[in-house]
Amino acid sequence: MKQQFLLALVVAVLCLNVGTVSLLASQDAPAQKNEEPGKKEEPKEKEEEAVDIEEAEKQAQKPVPNVGYTKEEYDQFQTAFSLPDLEARAAGLSQFIKSRPNSKLNEHAMAAYAALLNQLYQQKDMAKLAPAAEGFLELKPGDVAALGLATEAAYSNKDYAKAIKHGESFYQAKPSKEVAQLLAHSFDQLKSPAKFASYAEKCISEMAPKDAFFYAAKLSHYYGGQRNIPKAALYSQKMMSAYSDQEIPTGYAAAQWSQEKGRSYSIIGRAAYDRKQYGAAVSAYHKSLRNFSGNDEAYYYLGMSYWSAQDTTNAMKNLAKAALLNKSYAKTARAQLEVLYKGLNNGSLDGIDRVTRAASAELK
């Protein structure tokens, strides 16, 4: 309505000038009248006609009120604003603003552009919203609302690179759990584990255990691979607390979940062992082995935990099991078993085979 009013004002001013010129032309007519011979001219009631003409001339000489833009300028804006297709309207408004950077109509053009972005969002037309929002950001970089719309549109379109580009700026301006989740998932899709971890850690503390499970699992594996045992154990514990012993998370087969539990409890046990909390380590390693009986690392650290707790019988048995599995911990486990056995038997290894046979029988 405001734009229509402004146009009406321009037209009215133009009409006023035309009307004034017509008035001046009509005022010349009395000077050309033929007077009848012998007829005395009737006195005029008023002699202000010369004053009226003079006033009209003054009005005609007045400049047209300056509204800040030309009719051509307004027509260009109105053409863009009136386009029925929202994508075309966005392009038209953008072109108007770029071609007339100093126009006083740009404020109205930007407002119209922002309104059509919201309209596209309400229509859930993310395919059109994404380029339209990016176009708006070209005109107004850093606009928070446009950053949010561009982020969500790109993410919905699975354009994760652009979701990250706009999303990180949006998160910096307006941090939230939801945006951190979006960014974490986008970085995960682009195989960027370090950046995934940085955003996953920002949102996981605010999430319910089951909602956080996906992020906890990813973080557990990431920090486990980095050999950051305390952090890997923290997120492994979050994983295990999300589900009861009888539940299986969505996306896992029973055997797969059992192996995952074995891995997670092994990490939890290792963190406890490093803290010299041997009782907690023994408990975690037993849980690990109940789910993954072939876990040589669990047997090794279970043996070392028992040894540190002065339970040499269980220590030797579990070190022997780790050696018998013949995996990555076999040599280390055998060496520690011999050290412990010699210490208990005056430096002799005589009879150590009895320990290994007993261990072998329990493994079957």
> What's the whole-number mean pLDDT along residues 157-176?
98
What top-level class would CATH report for the domain 124-206?
Answer: mainly alpha
Give pLDDT tens digits for 301-358. 999 999 999 999 999 999 999 999 999 999 999 999 999 999 999 999 999 999 999 9
Distance CA(132)–CA(138), nearest Å, equals 10
pLDDT-derived band at 60, boundaries 50, 70, 90: low
* pLDDT of the residue at 68: 75
DSSP 140-200: STT-HHHHHHHHHHHHHTT-HHHHHHHHHHHHHHS--HHHHHHHHHHHHHTT-HHHHHHHH
Give pLDDT tens digits for 13-42. 333 233 332 322 333 333 333 444 444 455
Q: Residue type at 60? A: A
> Is the confidence at residue 56, as pLDDT, over 80?
no
> Is the confidence at residue 276, as pLDDT, over 70?
yes
Q: What percent of the chain has pLDDT over 90?
A: 80
Give pLDDT tens digits for 102-119. 999 999 999 999 999 999
Question: Rounded to a whole number, what is the distance in angstroms from the first to the last CA of the chain?
Answer: 86
HSE, side-chain direction, 13 A CA sphere, residue 153: 24
* pLDDT of the residue at 7: 30
* pLDDT of the residue at 364: 86
What pTM was computed for the model? 0.75
3-state secondary structure of 130: helix
Cα separations in angstroms, 60 against 19, 31, 54, 56: 9, 21, 10, 6
> Is the confidence at residue 123, as pLDDT, over 60?
yes
Give pLDDT tens digits for 170-194. 999 999 999 999 999 999 999 999 9
pLDDT-derived band at 69, boundaries 50, 70, 90: confident
Give pLDDT tens digits for 204-226. 999 999 999 999 999 999 999 99
Distance CA(57)–CA(24), nearest Å, equals 8
pLDDT-derived band at 229, boundaries 50, 70, 90: very high
* pLDDT of the residue at 27: 32
> What's the whole-number mean pLDDT along residues 223-251?
96
Lowest-pLDDT range of 156-160, 243-247, 296-300: 243-247
**Mean pLDDT for the chain overall:** 86
> Is the confidence at residue 280, as pLDDT, over 80?
yes
> Is the confidence at residue 287, as pLDDT, over 80?
yes
